[in-house]
């Protein structure tokens, strides 16, 4: 299958890995400490664990699993807001499936559904709009979340609702932006990142230019990467080649999907419907300036935050849960105190164990776990 089989070629993987092993020995800073390369996107984290790529790399390379899973960074307070909306008797609350089990302070959406709330899993915001057409006597709320990847479809859905004059459809907007997040990581005193694998799907929308500050201001290379095994390995090699040459540039490995200028139609739809928030709360990372979007006044009638009274509380994760440290790359998933014990995919305490793109879930599913460490 094109773009699948050819990017899973084991012979080509061996060639790239040999080059990686040779090149890392030629990079001066790698002789004193492991090179820390962050894959920003949770899709990359999933691929790295699924295909065992981390085990194939030299010890002088340490992969740091970044905060690019939108479900994983959803704070407890926002989950509580979702439950508060869903508990209204005249509401049909709709959400993507991987958000159903994210823990709130008291319950998840899945638990609220079990208690009788009308909560339905959908595959797109257009599915939620269809429910609004079918149930004019109900208030249908779509839980919008995700980075710039999913923003356009949500924006276009609101435009369609306005075009049709549908007045029982609402959006609970929790969309977030990638660029302020990377900047917050670079400014964090807890870590030092030598280079980045940039998110492929986000870049398909925003293009290459928004990342230029990473090389210009912070002197770090970033490679926009695809998600197949050879994509990830080639992107790692491209980072190493820059480090050896003493360079810091933004490169696009995922050219078959990502245009350098992004998707202008998608960006226009997003700009029409959304505006930046002053700040947004992230699970484990705290408040990050201009890292989320809200609905513009022109579409205020569809804004669930204006239509419903919400608790809107900041609620800290349980002290034993170390999602924040994992998200920032300070610790590995298995170093969390509750990993594989109280916190498993069946009984998640933290959001990183919920989504398949979460580092903890991916490591639990595909990593070689030493039972002595989690007994």
Q: Is residue 90 part of a domain?
A: yes
Q: Is residue 268 part of a domain?
A: yes
- pLDDT, tens only, 171-193: 999 999 999 989 988 998 877 89
Lowest mean pLDDT among 144-148, 255-259, 339-343: 339-343
Instruction: Specify the pLDDT at position 375.
Output: 43
Q: Which of 177, 180, 157 is nearest to 169 (CA)?
A: 157
Helices (H) and strands (E) in the chain, counts: 16, 13
Q: Is pLDDT above 50 for 371?
A: no
Q: Is residue 47 part of a domain?
A: no
Lowest mean pLDDT among 240-249, 259-268, 352-361: 352-361
Give the span between the Cα atoms of 325 and 223, in whole angstroms.
Answer: 24
Instruction: Specify the pLDDT at position 7.
Output: 82
Q: Is residue 350 part of a domain?
A: no
How much is the average pLDDT of 27-42?
93
Q: Is residue 40 part of a domain?
A: no
Whichever domain contains 91, its CATH number is: 3.40.50.11740
Residue 124 belongs to what domain range? 76-177+262-307
Q: How many domains does the chain have?
A: 1
Bridge partners, 90 (sequence order): none
- pLDDT, tens only, 255-290: 999 999 999 999 999 999 999 999 898 877 788 999
Q: Is residue 120 part of a domain?
A: yes
Q: Is residue 152 part of a domain?
A: yes
Q: Is pLDDT above 90 for 135?
A: yes
Instruction: Specify the pLDDT at position 368.
Output: 59
Higher pLDDT, 297 or 70: 297
Q: Is residue 302 part of a domain?
A: yes
Give the span between the Cα atoms of 261 and 280, in whole angstroms.
Answer: 27
For residue 323, name the pLDDT band (cuts at 50, 70, 90). confident
């Amino acid at each position: 299958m094109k773009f699948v089989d050819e990017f899973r070629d084991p012979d080509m993987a061996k060639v790239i890995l040999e080059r990686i092993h040779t090149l890392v020995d030629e990079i001066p800073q790698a002789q004193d400490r492991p090179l820390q390369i962050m894959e920003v996107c949770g899709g990359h984290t999933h691929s790295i664990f699924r295909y065992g790529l981390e085990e194939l790399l030299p010890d002088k390379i340490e992969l740091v699993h970044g905060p690019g899973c939108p479900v994983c960074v959803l704070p407890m307070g926002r989950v509580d807001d979702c439950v508060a909306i869903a508990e209204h008797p005249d509401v049909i609350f709709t959400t993507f499936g991987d958000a159903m089990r994210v823990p709130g302070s008291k319950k998840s959406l899945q638990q609220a559904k079990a208690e009788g709330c009308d909560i339905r899993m959908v595959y797109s915001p257009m599915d939620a709009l269809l429910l609004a057409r079918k149930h004019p006597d109900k208030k249908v709320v779509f839980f919008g979340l995700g980075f710039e990847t999913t923003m356009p479809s949500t924006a276009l859905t609101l435009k369609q609702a306005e075009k049709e004059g549908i007045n029982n459809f609402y959006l609970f907007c929790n969309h977030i932006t990638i660029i302020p997040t990377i900047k917050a990581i670079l400014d964090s005193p807890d870590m030092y990142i030598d280079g980045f694998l940039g998110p492929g799907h986000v870049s398909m929308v925003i293009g290459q230019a928004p990342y230029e500050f990473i090389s210009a201001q912070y002197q770090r290379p970033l490679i926009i990467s695809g998600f197949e095994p050879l994509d990830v390995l080639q992107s790692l090699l491209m980072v190493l080649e820059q480090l050896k040459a003493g360079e810091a540039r933004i490169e696009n490995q995922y050219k078959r999907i990502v245009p350098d200028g992004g998707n202008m139609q998608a960006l226009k739809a997003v700009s029409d419907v959304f505006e930046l928030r002053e700040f947004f709360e992230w699970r484990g990372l705290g408040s990050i300036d201009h890292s989320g979007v809200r609905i513009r006044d022109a579409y205020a009638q569809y804004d669930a935050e204006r239509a419903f009274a919400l608790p809107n509380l900041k609620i800290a994760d349980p002290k034993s849960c170390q999602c924040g440290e994992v998200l920032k790359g300070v610790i590995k998933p298995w170093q969390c105190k509750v990993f594989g014990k109280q916190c498993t995919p069946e009984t998640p305490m933290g959001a990183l164990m919920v989504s398949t793109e979460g580092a903890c879930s991916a490591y639990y599913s595909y990593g070689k776990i030493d039972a002595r460490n989690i007994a």
